[in-house]
Structure 1
Amino acid sequence: MTERIVVVGAALYDGGRLLAARRSAPAELAGRWELPGGKVEPGERGEDALVRELREELGVEAEPLARVPGEFDLGRGYVMRVWRAKLLAGEPLPLEDHDELRWLGPDELWTVDWLPGDVPAIHALTATQVTG
């Protein structure tokens, strides 16, 4: 069995709105939307990876709050674990791998073209309906 690569996704909330990020790379993902995040480094806790990735990708400080139940298959050996997180400081900017960010209110969640692996995560978020 091949080793799974764990990716963290941030359900980053501010004022009840969820941050979505549009991929600019790689080409096969460009133009689709995802929860921001990235790979967990060897020996790194998921919560620490989330804080690091949000700092690197968006230039913000965030606090992980609670993990969303389940793991979400992204294909090609990748699995995503999602944490609800609260924006502490900074204004998110698309610094790496994204060309646009959008804050989505509860009634706007399905107005973007989510990557297939993120769709079950968004459903899991809306099923628990607790926003930070």
Structure 2
Amino acid sequence: MTNQVLVVDAERNRTGGHARSVVDVAVGLLIAPSGEFLLTSRPEGKVYAGYWEFPGGKLEAGESVEQALRRELHEEIGVHIGPVQIWKEKLVDYPHALVRLHFCKVFEWTGTLHMREGQTFSWERLPVRCAPVLPGTLPVLEWLTAEQAV
């Protein structure tokens, strides 16, 4: 499943030409001792505003996935994370960008959640209650469901 490209809104025009650059994004699954995980809403002014996703952001030049995740989660939600478990990867072809999502599990963090971009947050379990969920988040929910079934 992780090798297939998830194409979102296939009927919509893609930006750019045929050879679009891949944007690498570090994504954090903050998982509480209770098993709940954090979802945040995309802020107003961003593509897919109001959709729910796992927090994270783009890798900057020269950054590793872990470095980007540490920076982004501090900038975006105000926490400092502990050990990072690099977990899975998914290539998602959105109309606005071709994105390689690097999903990481995080079980330890310090600080109080502070939604610095005006987004909202929710601690969730499967099945998630918040909607709509960003298409690139759906495979993660499927992977988590499969893990619970084992």
Report if TM-score (shorter chain) is over 0.5: yes
Cα deviation, residue 45, structure 1: 0.3
Q: Whose strand fraction is larger, Structure 1's or Structure 2's?
A: 1
Q: Which runs of 5+ in 2 are unaligned?
A: 1-18
Q: Which runs of 5+ in 1 are unaligned?
A: none
SS at match of 2:107: strand
- The number of residue pairs the alignment matches comes to 126
The answer for the alignment partner of 2:26 in structure 1 is: 8
CA distance in 1, matches of 2:70, 2:46: 26
RMSD: 1.8
Write out the 4+ residue segments of structure 1 that deviate beyond 6 Å after TM superposition: none
Task: Name the CA shift for 1:64/1:5 in 2 (closer, same or farther; >3 Å).
Answer: farther
**TM-score of the pair, normalised by structure 2:** 0.75
Q: Which amino acid aligns with 1:66?
A: Q
CA distance in 2, matches of 1:22, 1:116: 13
Aligned partners of 1:47 and 1:64 also within 8 Å? no
Q: Which amino acid aligns with 1:103?
A: W
Cα deviation, residue 74, structure 1: 5.0
Alignment of 1:1-132 (within 5 A): 1-15=19-33, 16-26=35-45, 28-75=47-94, 76-96=97-117, 98-105=118-125, 107=126, 109-113=127-131, 114-129=133-148
Q: Which has the larger radius of gyration?
A: 2
